[in-house]
Amino acid sequence: MTRTVYVNGEYLPEDEAKISIFDRGFLFADGVYEVTSVLGGKLIDFDGHAVRLERSLSELGMGHPITKEDLLEVHRELVRLNEIDEGMIYLQITRGAAADRDFAYPPEDTPQTIVLFTQSKPGLANSPMAQKGLKVISIEDQRWGRRDIKTVQLLYPSMGKMMAKAEGCDDAWMVEEGSVTEGTSNNAYIVKGDTIITRQLSNDILHGITRAAVLRFAREAQMKVEERAFTIDEAKDADEAFVTSASTFVMPVVEIDGAPVGTGKPGSVAARLREIYLEESIKKAV
């Protein structure tokens, strides 16, 4: 089955979808994105992603080329056309294509580019990785200073994943001024005793939609949550570690820089949060 994608108002087979070589997303990484997961053919946390998208656009002085209602409709139509049961929908909006390559932004009436496509991932909710746990390395955080905006400048995170792979690991946790900011594509947590610790919100990290939901569920389940920075040494000494993202939900981390975290096996707090997150989010899926 050929994948059907969405480009600027049209549903097209993927090999017929085109954007300009002058698109600022391509030339300047001048664009924002969202990834929403699909479980049982329904969208998880759609509202949170739509709200963050609007914020990212506003922070970069970009227009809002599509309403939330229309965006929901496009997501649902792509799920239907591509018969997605479990997987993800990727959405990207750029500042569009100017007449030439120019650092200055093009006129405000330049049409923005909107692209959405699906990725089918059968077994996403029952990922074997959740039983196994991730091995991570620590690397210096060399990204720009507005990590709260979900831009498509993903070269450094991509390099981080390759550095992890080169060491036989799954991912990298980035460190700035001695403390962990986040994973290359997820928010990072440790558990010490009965307390879940994760970095506080600021421009240093992406405000994860999964993070917000997981912390809410943790508090509702009377778990203690501390939002503060932590170091790699603290993480190595923790009882558990895990990450959250829209595409992996809650995923245990069992090794950091070659040292086992806790027992070296996925921990019970991460397992419980994964279960609660999946159960509650599926109930509210649209």
Residues within the interface to ligand PMP (CB under 6 A) = 35, 182, 185-187, 206, 208-211, 244-246
Which position has the token pair 């995923």?
251
Spatial distance between the Cα atoms of 160 and 183, rounded to a whole number of angstroms: 9
Least Cβ distance, residue 63 to ligand PMP (angstroms) = 22
Compare residues 31 and 98 and give the one whose CB is closer to ligand PMP. Answer: 31
Closest C-alpha among 211, 212, 241 to residue 137: 241
Smaller CB distance to ligand PMP: residue 133 or 208? 208
Cβ-based nearer residue to ligand PMP, 112 or 198: 198
Tell the smallest beta-carbon distance from residue 99 to ligand PMP (Å). 32
Q: Is 283 a catalytic residue?
A: no
Report which secondary-structure segment, H or E, holds 283.
helix 268-284
Task: Count other Cβ atoms within 10 Å, centred on residue 10.
Answer: 10
Which entry of 42, 150, 192, 236 is annotated as an active-site residue?
A: 150
- Smallest separation, CB 110 to ligand PMP (Å): 27
Query: What residues are paired with 138 via a beta bridge?
Result: 173
CA distance 153 to 188: 20
Q: Which one-letter DSSP state was computed for residue 97?
A: B
Rounded Cα gap, residues 188 and 281, in angstroms? 20
* CA–CA separation, 38 and 87 (whole Å): 5
CB-nearer residue toward ligand PMP: 20 or 158: 158
Catalytic residues: 150
